[in-house]
Amino acid sequence: MPKENVAIKSENWRLNSHKDLNDLQKDIIESRDPNRLEVVVCHGTGCIANGSPKVSSAIRESLLGAGINVKLMPGIKTTGCHGFCSRGPLVIVRPHGFFYQRVTPKDAEEIVKKTLMEKQPVERLLYKNPKTGKTILTEKEIPFYSLQERIVLHNIGKVDPTDIKDSIASGGYQALAKALCSMSPEQVVKEVEKSGLRGRGGAGFPTGRKWRSALKAIEKKGYPAYVVVNGDEGDPGAFMDRTIMEGDPHAVLEGLIIGAYAIGAKQGYLYVRAEYPLAIKHLEIAMEQAREYGLLGENILNTGFSFDARINRGAGAFVCGESTALFTSIEGKAGNPRPKYVRSVEEGLWGKPTVLNNVETWANIPLVIEKGADWYSKIGVPKSTGTKVFSLVGKVNNVGLVEVPMGIPLVKIIEDIGGGVIGGENFKAVQTGGPSGGCIPYSLKDTPVDFDSLTKVGSMMGSGGMIVMDKHDCVVDIGRYFLRFLEEESCGKCIPCRLGLIRMRKILDGFSSGTGTKQDIDDLISLSQALQDGALCALGSSAPNPILTTLKYFNNEYLSHIENHKCPAGVCKELITYSINADKCTGCRSCARQCPKQCISGDKKKPHVINTENCIRCGICMETCKFEAVIVS
Amino acid sequence: MIKFKINDKEVQARSGWTVLETARQYGIEIPTLCFHESVASSGACRLCMVELREENWSKLVASCIYPVSEGINVYTETERVQNVRRWIFEMLLSECPSSKEVKEMAKKYGVFKTRFPVQNPNESCMLCGLCTRVCEEVVGLSAIATLDRGVHKKVGAPFLRPTEVCVACGCCVTICPTNAMRSRIDSVRSNTKMQLAKAA
Ligand SMILES: Cc1cc2nc3c(=O)[nH]c(=O)nc-3n(C[C@H](O)[C@H](O)[C@H](O)COP(=O)(O)O)c2cc1C
Ligand code: SF4
Ligand code: SF4
Ligand code: SF4
Ligand code: FES
Ligand code: FES
């Protein structure tokens, strides 16, 4: 069936067997000319904000203006985020694979003229390896990509997430067809168990074991049972799940349908935070298209298995990502954690057996089923198989989304893929696992990034946030930031969390204003223990992690705040002073002009001085000075 | 009957009982603030924490909701249990300092003062949620609820405005362990209801 003829009547789209799916895949691929020019423009939330829609429409206009024969007209494809967000918006021209970065609408004409018509790269838009200074032509050769292992993200940047045909062409729904047509539910569960896949949403619970428990619970209590996608992604700075839902919604959906088949669920829910409108839109489109193709809804692929799903918009609270809070929220009540010592696979939604998995976990399922547990478990390390997607943010050159095999040394992610710290020094610490994780110092840079090794050093995998810090980041300040975040996000139900977080934060406030004591450190540790032991849900009980790890690895920095009233990183305003290095100051007067308190004096062309009494430590002078003459101590 | 140990002493319980129920049956004291027989347990105050110990692990659980099971080893006075309690009491002494009941209970467990500054000297509510639960579960009205979240949490009628829904039955006032509801009930009842109640 050539592409044009597919869309005759909706009934005709329905796929009734694995063979139908294969035929359709073949038809789509054959109907496409592999040598056809195609311009791919990334349209993730980040780059959309940075103008990628303007880039694609500028390219479209330039193309129309260039008077190319309609038959030879290159296609323009918008895809999900390619992950290299610090370089976006990105434009890739296929089949050559030329990779253009930081593209603006003004570059459109040159891309059309030079690349699309003359088949030549536009040199100035290519990526230059900052370490070697060499210009790189294609995506594959860029270290940021070549060192990754993109299996979960393999479609993102390649397929148009709003077109199911694109997914099908690239192998989408093959795993579902395989499961439904040639595997029993039991075999599916076994395969997932064997793969060693562990949940990507935080705790790293073995997914197969969770599904098995659900089956046991169903045996006891009977149906209905539910499958649920946790797309609440509340960690500050994390955007793995958003990118997957936006860029490859069919993968999440396919995983969910396979899960439903495995446990016999008829209804599923996708709980997505309301702040992710594009993810919701793409999932809605994906579900609609999947229904039209007979991949969702009644009698899927004519196998007799029926399952449907719906989207729930999250209430926008971090704590709603916690399993029991998520269930109460879907049930239409306030999203508070439930105090129950019963596992949610047994008593989940409406008290029924429920499998809740994270977005990325679900997106792994089609891989496990299609390629098999043996293939899957060879990736990564024995107790943490597969890959993990991280959002790499902070003081690192290549901010973005990276997918690496489990067990890779931390330093490789930061230095080789992330391109190291801005300015070229070593990183000071890396916070993994978001506000519930911990801070790993440079001295532990070789720590393998897998569930158990991260826990061993006091941090955790969490959902995959990775914040890189350098010498200008203060551990006390970081701790305050996370505690303030959690204080606002706490549901307030239990006393240790509602009152404890604010008390802990106030102790840190004391450190940063120079009024802390050594007794405060002891209090902090003991209060942390009370939260770990006493809080009702993991928001409260894991909240002390960032504080405890920094106390362990950066004790001297705390002591410096307490004993010397100094903030070595130069962050805690009340503990720092600005001054001017007379040797470097040229007397240009820029700082004096900018200072809001007018406390910088000096004659033109002579070294200036800061009157520290009036100085409010805003740091404007330091930012203004071109000669690095302003110093903070 | 389910057999297990509390503080190394054999105890017996019926299936479905909680550790707290069993302990009380045997006269073993565990402090509680948010627990009341007439409403469902909410596990909010965390004063009733006890330690479960096995050979190579131990964890703290809330005894008011933890269901008994064969052979568990429960300890009610370990260092970790006392640590949680002590901090809760200290925080409550600063947060709801005008509650006599909290002060007495704290004293009983050896906490006489708090290292934290007193927030509002007139505050006595500690947001245990008993009032809202009794209104919902026993009275069946839900005239009051917990509003907002985290540090901003409070109890009252929706939008903190007097509500027609309240029938002035006084259940919330009776159940409140700190007497906080007594002074707050007038802000819950709407005027017409108050007049009705007065007329009656
Ligand atoms: C405060 C809190 C927030 C959480 N937020 C999320 C979240 O945003 N996304 C998520 O997948 N899991 C989140 N979790 C973990 C979930 O409770 C649950 O463990 C997870 O969704 C299970 O899926 P998995 O086994 O695939 O990881 C959170 C947990 C806590 C305690
Ligand atoms: S730990 Fe915090 S978020 Fe969790 S139930 Fe207690 S108050 Fe709510
Ligand atoms: S830090 Fe701000 S207030 Fe202080 S001297 Fe510099 S510009 Fe002025
Ligand atoms: S008013 Fe009383 S019963 Fe209600 S939450 Fe406050 S302390 Fe608990
Ligand atoms: S959307 Fe462009 S790189 Fe992320
Ligand atoms: S009495 Fe158990 S948590 Fe309050």
* CATH code for the domain in which residue B51 is found: 3.10.20.740
In this prediction, the answer to ipTM > 0.85 reads yes
Which of A111-120, A221-230, A447-456, A534-543 is least confident? A111-120
CA nearest to A152, candidates A454, A452, A385, A431 = A385
**Last residue of a domain, which of B108, B141, B175?**
B108
| Mean pLDDT on A554-576 | 91
- B100 and B19, same structural domain? yes
In this predicted model, what pLDDT tens digit does every residue of A444-460 receive, in sequence order? 999 999 999 999 999 99
CA nearest to A532, candidates B51, B186, B75 = B51
- B32 pocket-lining for ligand 6 (C-beta < 6 Å): yes
Contact criterion met (CB < 8 Å) for A498 and B153: yes
In this predicted model, what pLDDT tens digit does every residue of A200-220 receive, in sequence order? 998 899 999 999 999 999 999
Q: Which chain A positions have a beta carbon within 8 Å of B102's beta carbon? A: none
Look at strands A91-94 and A578-580 and give their pairing. unpaired
Cα of B98 from ligand 2 centre, angstroms: 25
pLDDT given for residue A8 in this prediction:
44
- B91 and B39, same structural domain? yes
Q: Residue B193 pLDDT more than 80?
A: no
- B103 and B136, same structural domain? no
Which of A76-85, A172-181, B155-164 is least confident? B155-164
Distance between CA atoms of residues B105 and B97, nearest Å:
13
Distance between CA atoms of residues B73 and B68, nearest Å:
10
Per-residue pLDDT band for B197 (boundaries 50, 70, 90) equals low
In this predicted model, what pLDDT tens digit does every residue of A23-69 receive, in sequence order? 999 999 998 888 888 899 999 888 999 999 999 999 988 888 887 77
| Mean pLDDT on B81-95 | 96
Substitution target from B91, B125, B148, B153 for chain A, most A beta carbons within 10 A: B91
Per-residue pLDDT band for A343 (boundaries 50, 70, 90) equals confident
- A486 pocket-lining for ligand 2 (C-beta < 6 Å): no
- B137 and B98, same structural domain? no
Q: Among partner residues A340, A488, A534, which is closest to B150 by beta-carbon distance?
A: A488
Q: Residue B199 pLDDT more than 70?
A: no
CB atoms within 10 A of CB B17: 15
Which of A502-506, B154-158, B177-181 is least confident? B154-158
- B31 and B86, same structural domain? yes
**Domains of chain A with bracketed CATH:** 38-146 (3.40.30.10), 164-377 (3.40.50.11540), 380-469 (3.10.20.600), 475-564 (1.20.1440.230), 577-632 (3.30.70.20)
- B78 and B10, same structural domain? yes
Distance between CA atoms of residues A534 and A549, nearest Å:
19
Contact criterion met (CB < 8 Å) for A494 and B46: yes
Best residue among A54, A90, A392 to mutate for probing ligand 5, ranked by most atoms within 8 Å of CB? A90
Q: Residue A279 pLDDT more than 80?
A: yes
Domain that holds residue B55: 2-108
Distance between CA atoms of residues A491 and A418, nearest Å:
35
**Last residue of a domain, which of B108, B143, B172?**
B108
pLDDT given for residue B141 in this prediction:
87
- B169 and B99, same structural domain? no
**Last residue of a domain, which of B76, B108, B140?**
B108
Q: What is the CATH number of the domain that holds B174?
A: 3.30.70
- B79 and B15, same structural domain? yes
CA-proximal residue: ligand 4, atom 8 (nearest):
B128
Q: For residues A308 and A257, is the Cβ–Cβ distance under 8 A?
A: no
Nearest Cα of chain A lies from the Cα of B66 at a distance, in angstroms, of 6
CA-proximal residue: ligand 2, atom 1 (nearest):
A540
pLDDT given for residue B164 in this prediction:
81
Give the percent of chain A with pLDDT over 90.
70
Substitution target from A347, A493, A522 for chain B, most B beta carbons within 10 A: A493
Best residue among A585, A591, A609, A621 to mutate for probing ligand 3, ranked by most atoms within 8 Å of CB? A621
Whether B141 is in a domain gets the answer: yes
Omega before A339 within 30 of 0, i.e. cis: no
Cα of B97 from ligand 2 centre, angstroms: 22
- A82 pocket-lining for ligand 5 (C-beta < 6 Å): yes
Q: Residue B130 pLDDT more than 90?
A: yes
Cα of A232 from ligand 1 centre, angstroms: 8
For the whole model, what pTM was predicted?
A: 0.89
Q: Which two tokens stand for residue A469?
A: 């810090």
Distance between CA atoms of residues B160 and A135, nearest Å:
64
Distance between CA atoms of residues A77 and A42, nearest Å:
8
- B167 and B90, same structural domain? no
pLDDT given for residue B191 in this prediction:
62
Contact criterion met (CB < 8 Å) for B83 and A490: no
Q: For residues B70 and B91, is the Cβ–Cβ distance under 8 A?
A: no
- B98 and B49, same structural domain? yes
Per-residue pLDDT band for A2 (boundaries 50, 70, 90) equals very low
Structural domain count of chain B: 2
Contact criterion met (CB < 8 Å) for B151 and A503: no
Contact criterion met (CB < 8 Å) for A503 and B92: no
Per-residue pLDDT band for A342 (boundaries 50, 70, 90) equals confident
| Mean pLDDT on A416-432 | 92
CA-proximal residue: ligand 4, atom 3 (nearest):
B176
- A250 pocket-lining for ligand 5 (C-beta < 6 Å): no
Ligand 6 atom closest to residue B46's alpha carbon, by position in its atom list: 3
SS3 A382: coil
E strands along A132-177, which residues? 135-136
CA nearest to A481, candidates A442, A530, A525, A431 = A431
User: HEC string of A61-106?
Assistant: HHHHHCCCCHHHCCEEEEECCCCCHHHCCCEEEECCCEEECCCCHH
Whether B97 is in a domain gets the answer: yes
- B7 and B104, same structural domain? yes
Per-residue pLDDT band for B46 (boundaries 50, 70, 90) equals very high
Q: Residue A237 pLDDT more than 70?
A: yes
Which of A462-466, A478-482, B159-163 is least confident? B159-163
End-to-end CA gap in chain B? 50
For ligand 3, which residues put their CB under 6 angstroms from it? A 578, 595-597, 599-600, 610, 615-621
- B96 and B151, same structural domain? no
Whether B114 is in a domain gets the answer: no
Interface check for A536 against chain B (CB to CB < 8 A): the answer is yes
In this predicted model, what pLDDT tens digit does every residue of A93-138 receive, in sequence order? 988 889 999 999 999 999 988 888 888 899 999 998 887 888 999 9
In this predicted model, what pLDDT tens digit does every residue of A360-404 receive, in sequence order? 999 999 999 999 999 999 999 999 999 999 999 999 999 999 999
Q: For residues A380 and A387, is the Cβ–Cβ distance under 8 A?
A: yes
Distance between CA atoms of residues A489 and A462, nearest Å:
17
| Mean pLDDT on A322-332 | 92
Contact criterion met (CB < 8 Å) for A495 and B46: yes
| Mean pLDDT on A347-363 | 96
If you average pLDDT over every residue of chain A, what do you get?
Answer: 92
Q: For residues A430 and A390, is the Cβ–Cβ distance under 8 A?
A: no
Q: Residue B195 pLDDT more than 80?
A: no
Nearest Cα of chain B lies from the Cα of A563 at a distance, in angstroms, of 21
Contact criterion met (CB < 8 Å) for A503 and B49: no
